[in-house]
Structure 1
Amino acid sequence: MQTLEHDVPDKASLPSSGLAAPLREFNLLRWFSLISLLIIASVAGGLGYVSTRFVVRDSVERDAMLTAQFIQAMAQAEVRHSQLPPGTTMGELLDPRLDSQHLQVSPALARSTRTEFLDHVEHLPDTLLANVYARDRTIVWSTNPQLIGKRISADGDLDHAFRSRKAVSASYHQAEDDREEQKFLREPRYLFIENYIPLFDSQGEQVLSMVEIYKEPQDLVRRIQRGYVLIWVSTLLGGALIYFGLFWIVRRAALLLHHQQDRLVASETYVALGEMSSAVAHSLRNPLANIRSSAELAQDIASEPARKNINDIISQVDRMSRWVRDLLVSLRPASDEVEAVDLVAAVEDTRLAFAQQIERHGVQFSFAGPALQWVASQPLQLTQILNSLFANALEAMPQGGHLRVEVRRLEGQRVQLLLSDTGKGMSQQQERMVFKPFFTTKQGGLGVGLALVKRIMERFGGSVSLHSREEEGTRVSLIFNIAAGGDHGAQHSGGRG
């Protein structure tokens, strides 16, 4: 099936419609895809990082607080159990170098009390290493005997713990080979928690000793790892849902904007053509009518050789008259009021109107569908559609062929009309441009036929599509809404030839 040719009028010949020169097209979907992906990925990554840090820090601090409370409770219990004089604390008994300096506590009692307390510290669960520091940062006891007696002089965390007087200072990290106090009896599998637990004097103001506990709580580590997985999976899924949700919305908006832009361009085109349509009608109609009348008068008195030329004049005048009529019909304001129209009867009327051309071109016509099918349209508009499609199909088959029309019901109160021919078809590029105004593949055509078909179908809630292959033919599909109250037509299939 041929379409109307690519007769694009010169821009200078069109009246100005008030539109400025188009700017460089902004690809909304592409820029949104890139920028939103970067923003959502950054926000999701930041939230995931903050959440994991909070979960780990909170878990570590909670475990450290429990450990500190246990150590301090044991220290007080051992002091009471040994019946030491009032005001005596475990902090002043942990340095064995000071056993002989206690005025009210014997060295043996200080040693036994210290031993009981340190035995509890040594058997704390999940402990990698336990150290006890005197005020001069000397390790006076350790679960690793090799560390006893060493003085740690360059440990910022230890100095901070002595100065801060906090109930516990906790941090989590991996082992560092350059720190001599981290000589574990076994290497940690993952991370470990380092706790500094100060033991104060009786007034609670001065730190007398510092208990350092290195722990690898297996249950806590597993909970932290599960928290990591849960937070990051939730963050990734949430970010992906937000991104694809917004992408879908913006994609719909971009398609809508593109559709509205196309409609705006088409409207501006029709406005420009409307401004010159009256000039075309006044300038061409009367001269063409005069030319045709004069040619008909001359035909009666002309010789036989001249009649052929006169017939050519008349046919070309009729052709130009059809151009003017098609142009005016395509630009005429149309009502959107829907009527119930018998599609099958409209097809039959169109076939009868083109019967001579069908016979002259040697085209075989066939019809398949119900005997009656009401659709939502307007009689004149539907006739215009079918006339354009039949005319294109016949012009595509000058040497004969097969023109087939099929009407069938679809789901959702829709009806499809398929019109196919076995003509010369068109290329893929022509197929993409076929519904553009003023695009045509026919020499001498105006290029408004299929554009008008698309415009009418969309006005009544329908659609049109076209598929074509070169030298194989063209198939046009029209989708109509079933007219209200017009759903009782006969549904048997039939054929006409």
Structure 2
Amino acid sequence: MRLALRKRSIRSAGGRSRSARPGTRAQPMQNPFKLTRRFAILGLLLTVAVSVASSFFLSRFMVRNLLRQDATVSRDFVQSVVEVQQAWEYFSGRRAGDTNLGEFFSRIAAMPHVVRTNVFSTERTIVWSSDPALIGRRFDRNPELEAALGGRLEVSLDDQKSKPEHVALDGEHPKYVVENYLPVRRNGEVIGVVEMYKSSRALFDSIDEGLQLIWLSGLGGGIFLYGVLVWVVLRAERIIRAQQASLVQHETLAALGTMASAVAHGIRNPLASIRSSAELNLDNESAPVREASEDIVDEVDRLERWVRDLLAYAVPEAGEPENVRVSQVLHDSLNAFEGVFAKRDIRVSSDALQSAAVVRGDHALLTQVFNCLLTNAMEAMPQGGELQLKTAPVGAGRLRVSISDTGHGFSASDLQNAFVPRRSTKRTGLGVGLPLSKRILERFGGSIELVSRATGGATVNVDLPIAR
């Protein structure tokens, strides 16, 4: 009775120690920076802007170069004919009746894809035209003509109705025509301008094909670039999250280390005295006294294991990898639980004790891992049950040790938080056993997996690298 009262008082004190202090308020968690979401929006806008801008400028560059190359060929051809005919005075109107040069311009006007040809003098007056109604007319508002008279080769792709002289063009021609202003020189001085309108279906088809290729390339390049950048950002965000989790874990370990040192210093000596006093009563003639003493020894051992696990998790032992026989490790762990299993009516079946497999690890640390897993399996079967251990090779160079029980299994929440420190599902647990086991196994290149079976019970799979 006195022992039960002491247990209640200890649990009540533990419960009060975990409660929040009065008057304290939980600090709200700041919203994390959503790197992927913000980059997805901003990166998409920037990628679209860059793709459209580059495609637009490349399109203009291509169209301008194609049209300018065609106009350059026409200018050189006209210039060579004027030099051969020595028709310098024709542009001033003095030789307007020259049939040879007039015939030449008529042939130019009759060339394929040429819609109209006008010849301007330096006074901006049309001295010859394929449309006789325009001869003698003057069009003052013409920037391209002014630039051509200044010696520049001008090319434009305009709507037929954008200028007054375009109105009289034949309506059967395409909507857009290429307008070339070809300066004619004598001794380096511009003496006139030949205005030539072209409407080449082949040229426009080439321009359309080039524009389509440029815009498709810009779109495809933008999509590829955006996809690569999103992949990089997603990977960076995963690394940042892993580093943040590692920082949180290290902070937790630092706090646990300080607490574990204080607990070990303040509890271990009183626990040793209590255990020694209880052991003196194990030989007492009174059965109730012996039973109570055994309960005290068991509870003290349990508290001692808590302190040991807490210290091991906060400051893990630095075991060096070595060749370890799995059967020997499992044999040592099962021997430590043999009496407890018999008392709790837990039947053990194992073919792992006959395994000759050798893995990389540390004997003491691996024994600690399997002791933790056997303890969890035992506590999952309070009314007794069956415990099964198996070994089998999996993958390339790895050995799996499976520990299955017929207990209550794992819930979805248990599986999610099983390896989170201080998230124990047991009323009397510290929540460091499975996280400590995971850390030890990962140190030697191993892994651990929890599986809840639909038929009842659970299985823990421990994978270890086989020694070569």
When normalised by structure 2's length, the TM-score is 0.81
Partner of 1:478: 462
**Where in structure 2 are the equivalents of 1:219-258 lying within 5 Å?**
219-258=202-241
Q: What whole-Å deviation, never above 9, does each CA across 1:228-259 have from its counterpart, x for those lacking one?
A: 34433444444444444444444434333333
Q: Secondary structure at the match of 1:354?
A: helix
The partner residue of 2:156 within 153, 157, 171 is 171
**Where in structure 2 are the equivalents of 1:259-270 lying within 5 Å?**
259-270=242-253
Q: Distance in 1 between matches of 2:271 and 2:175?
A: 96
Q: Structure 1 residues 47, 264: CA separation in 2 closer, same or farther (over 3 Å shift)? A: same
Q: CA deviation at 1:140?
A: 5.4
Amino acid of the structure 2 residue aligned with 1:442: K
**Where in structure 2 are the equivalents of 1:94-243 lying within 5 Å?**
102=94, 110-133=97-120, 137=124, 139=126, 141-143=128-130, 151-162=138-149, 164-166=150-152, 168-176=153-161, 179-185=164-170, 191-200=176-185, 202=186, 205-208=189-192, 210-243=193-226
Amino acid of the structure 2 residue aligned with 1:122: A
Q: Distance in 2 between matches of 1:303 and 1:355?
A: 27
The partner residue of 1:372 within 351, 356, 359 is 356
Q: Structure 1 residues 254, 171: CA separation in 2 closer, same or farther (over 3 Å shift)? A: same
Q: Distance in 2 between matches of 1:221 and 1:129?
A: 18
Contact 2:278 2:293 in 1 (8 A): yes
Contact 1:370 1:407 in 2 (8 A): no
The partner residue of 1:65 within 72, 77, 88 is 72
Q: Secondary structure at the match of 2:261?
A: helix
Residue segments in structure 2 that go unaligned for 5+ positions in a row: 1-14, 22-27
Q: CA deviation at 1:469?
A: 6.8
Equivalent pairs counted in the alignment come to 448
1:450 matched to 2:443? The reply is no
Q: Secondary structure at the match of 2:157?
A: strand
Contact 2:355 2:391 in 1 (8 A): no
Q: Structure 1 residues 313, 353: CA separation in 2 closer, same or farther (over 3 Å shift)? A: closer
1:391 matched to 2:375? The reply is yes
Q: Distance in 2 between matches of 1:191 and 1:417?
A: 79
Partner of 1:51: 58
Greater mean alpha carbon deviation, residues 44-53 or residues 434-443: 44-53
Contact 1:193 1:215 in 2 (8 A): yes
Q: What whole-Å deviation, never above 9, does each CA across 1:327-386 have from its counterpart, x for those lacking one?
A: 223334422521011224323443343344445344564547982222111001111111
Contact 1:131 1:139 in 2 (8 A): yes
Residue segments in structure 1 that go unaligned for 5+ positions in a row: 1-6, 14-20, 94-101, 485-497
Q: CA RMSD in A?
A: 3.7
Contact 1:461 1:481 in 2 (8 A): yes
Q: Secondary structure at the match of 1:193?
A: strand
Q: Distance in 2 between matches of 1:9 and 1:335?
A: 32
Q: Structure 1 residues 380, 181: CA separation in 2 closer, same or farther (over 3 Å shift)? A: same
Amino acid of the structure 1 residue aligned with 2:91: G
Q: Distance in 2 between matches of 1:370 and 1:301?
A: 42
Q: Secondary structure at the match of 1:124?
A: coil
Question: Higher relative contact order at CA 8 Å, sep ≥6: structure 1 or structure 2?
Answer: 1
Q: CA deviation at 1:286?
A: 2.1
When normalised by structure 1's length, the TM-score is 0.77
Q: Distance in 1 between matches of 2:444 and 2:175?
A: 69
Contact 1:144 1:185 in 2 (8 A): no
Q: What whole-Å deviation, never above 9, does each CA across 1:57-87 have from its counterpart, x for those lacking one?
A: 222211111121122223334x25xxx7xxx
Q: Structure 1 residues 56, 406: CA separation in 2 closer, same or farther (over 3 Å shift)? A: farther
Q: CA deviation at 1:185?
A: 2.5
Q: Distance in 1 between matches of 2:204 and 2:31?
A: 56
Q: Distance in 2 between matches of 1:296 and 1:336?
A: 34
